[in-house]
Structure 1
């Protein structure tokens, strides 16, 4: 595919890196010569310095024969205008824009994005996507990642195995024998920093991070089986009252009838006053989340979860460490810069959320070929969990999986047929319109696209 990316910041570069790695024809535009130089030096992409919403720059970038434009600059209006020009002047088929301001996303303005008004095919809201990731983390504290697929019927969870895990040193194939009604599949393991797809004879070890695909209704049981009995967070302290913090607090307020209590620490007095007016039952404290006294006033020492969601990575990391030291049962934080990745595991924080990874995931699902409906990268892009739809022409349809010639590095975790989730085995046959959740190592993604492609004869 020929793809134009507007914006060479962390998200734009992350998308360019992934797409270029898969042999797409990628061009990236940014007003910063420094960013363009850095991207073109590191990646096999073309770069142009200029405004992504200017027609002449888009034309130079090859907009006349582009298949897709992805506008992810820091300015919503530039992203929206880039898509409008891409449509009106260059007839680019697919237009994706990152839109952060919540007022643009209000349902009452939904007609704004019609083809006759502002023709954006896909709107990505990082704040909403990250907020939902935080909420899932609060609801399933035993998993350090949790992503839903197939209208939330299937969940992919990342779980760290501790010394209380009852099934360590057990070959994976025995899990089915021990728990025949368990609707879950271990699809990958990270051991000593290396990600691999296990075989039935492989065992899980203490300290492993495992990725499990399961029926959503059995998520808590699966976590318990792997040694995690943590309950959903009821007492939550949030550092940062920006768009993400406000979104999470608003959603948590809806659960307060179930005993959920929320406090927010916000350093900006004006912002603290503003969100205090918007929130009905959340206590808003003005000050720095790195002040020990304020953390104690917010009740960090009694919190089930402390969540750091400010715009400053260093503040998020340090305040999460302090909250954990004060006694918070769980602490996790937002970390935007990949520069911290090599040292994150040394801080004792339970989980990190990357806005870049969440946004890239949201965009990739619209770039993938075939009938791929969902994508979530794991382990910094070394692997992916994908949701695909099988069509009559897909090569894997109508034969037992043991005969489907699935490549090494690919494992099917769950199949949803007529609304029912099942865990496949070698005798399972995939049928048209099945929704399948698969794990694939990064180098195998093209193979998955091939397995679920739409043949030309279909048309």
Structure 2
């Protein structure tokens, strides 16, 4: 597809990288000529220096033949204007990043009346992911499918865990739990396991199941299942605001430490039920005074990755609660993953994930639309949810007769709300939602799971 990306900041550059890998024809627009030159050289894309809301600039970028325009500049208003002009100048679909809480509350109205295909707020989506983790603190990461009916939960096997030394094929017999192991990460490698694989200490295991059955599983392996009762948040930005708002609704106590006095005053008005502390979140004496050692959870959400990493390391030394660390630059992910920072949240990758899902669905040609897409450990594996329509060539064929590609697992079939853990005799029907996990990244259709 021909895709135009307006804005080459963190999100724009990440999208350029991911979409160019998938073989799309990318054009980028930004006001900074140095940034445009660097990104266009790195990813072999056409780069244009200029204002993405300019009709002339969009025409130069090929808006008349474009399939999609993605506006991710630092200005919400500019993003919306880019999309509006793109709709008038061409016939492409449009996606706008909108971060202002005022606009976010009116996202549906904006989307419908401006003809946008998607309005995405990275900070809000990051807050939603953190909220899920604080409600289920045993998990490192939670991915939601089937509109919340099914979840993939990642957790680390610690010393003394009952799973240590157990073969996957014996899980059901030993624990009487209806869960399926989808991936095992060991020494930086992501494995799609068979029943013979033995789980070991420090493995990061992913299971797929319903929320209720997941709770039963974690209870049987003696891992914490109760949601946290309080949260200490460092940094008073938009992620913290959205997060606090959701946690307070769930009855979780919230304490935010913010350095800027003016922002503290804003948050006090916006979040009257939260405790807002004006102070430096890196001040150890302040953190001890505010009760870090007794906190049920700690989220370092400042604008500096280095500060967030150091804060989480300090919190880990003082408390046993749930840790959340916001990191935008994941180039050194092997180092970051070795530091025991709890759950890592990256708003720019969350944004990339949602937009990639939309692009894959647009690219569909065979008979199964992508409903949900999650990247596992960046580019090492993917979990995808497909909706099966009448054109799929896999309908009615027993799974055991499908010549599935290597390193691929059909994890779940949702048939009219009935969650099926698939076995060889099961088959796919029209209207099913099918979840697949694979290290063969960039599947576009359910038909791609079989060998040609």
Q: TM-score, normalised by structure 1?
A: 0.92
* 4+ runs deviating over 6 angstroms: none
Alignment partner of 1:127 is 2:126: no
Structure 2 counterparts to residues 19-34 of structure 1, below 5 A: 19-34=19-34
Alpha-carbon distance in 2 for matches of 1:317, 1:66: 40
Alignment partner of 1:367 is 2:359: yes
Length, aligned pairs only: 444
Give the aligned partner of residue 202 of structure 2: 207
Deviation string, structure 1 residues 73-105 (Cα, Å, up to 9, x no partner): 11111211111111011121x111111011112
Superposition RMSD in Å: 1.9
SS at match of 2:86: helix
Give the aligned partner of residue 275 of structure 1: 267
Whether the 8 Å CA contact 1:285–1:298 is kept in 2: the answer is no
SS at match of 1:40: helix
Alpha-carbon distance in 2 for matches of 1:111, 1:307: 32
Q: How far is 1:142 from its partner?
A: 1.1
| 1:420–1:355 distance in 2 versus 1, CA, 3 Å | same
Alpha-carbon distance in 1 for matches of 2:352, 2:395: 30
Alpha-carbon distance in 1 for matches of 2:320, 2:37: 43
Q: How far is 1:451 from its partner?
A: 5.4
Give the aligned partner of residue 352 of structure 1: 344
Structure 2 counterparts to residues 26-425 of structure 1, below 5 A: 26-92=26-92, 94-107=93-106, 110-114=108-112, 117-179=113-175, 182-225=177-220, 228-256=223-251, 260-368=252-360, 369-370=363-364, 371-425=369-423
Alpha-carbon distance in 1 for matches of 2:148, 2:226: 20
Give the aligned partner of residue 456 of structure 1: none
Deviation string, structure 1 residues 23-70 (Cα, Å, up to 9, x no partner): 111222222222222222222322222222222221121111111111
Whether the 8 Å CA contact 1:409–1:444 is kept in 2: the answer is no
Alpha-carbon distance in 2 for matches of 1:439, 1:91: 34
Alpha-carbon distance in 2 for matches of 1:43, 1:358: 21
Q: How far is 1:442 from its partner?
A: 4.3
Gaps of 5+ in 1: 453-459
Whether the 8 Å CA contact 1:306–1:328 is kept in 2: the answer is no
| 1:159–1:242 distance in 2 versus 1, CA, 3 Å | same
SS at match of 1:164: coil
Whether the 8 Å CA contact 2:382–2:441 is kept in 1: the answer is no
Deviation string, structure 1 residues 212-256 (Cα, Å, up to 9, x no partner): 221122222233455523531112101112111111111111222
Structure 1 stretch 327-336 or stretch 287-296: which is displaced more?
327-336
Alpha-carbon distance in 2 for matches of 1:444, 1:339: 21
Whether the 8 Å CA contact 1:395–1:451 is kept in 2: the answer is no
Whether the 8 Å CA contact 2:22–2:442 is kept in 1: the answer is no
Whether the 8 Å CA contact 1:411–1:439 is kept in 2: the answer is yes
Whether the 8 Å CA contact 1:416–1:435 is kept in 2: the answer is yes
SS at match of 1:412: strand
Alpha-carbon distance in 1 for matches of 2:74, 2:160: 45
Deviation string, structure 1 residues 102-153 (Cα, Å, up to 9, x no partner): 111224x743332xx4221100111110000110111111111112111100
Alpha-carbon distance in 2 for matches of 1:227, 1:39: 48
Deviation string, structure 1 residues 187-220 (Cα, Å, up to 9, x no partner): 1121111112112222221111122221122222
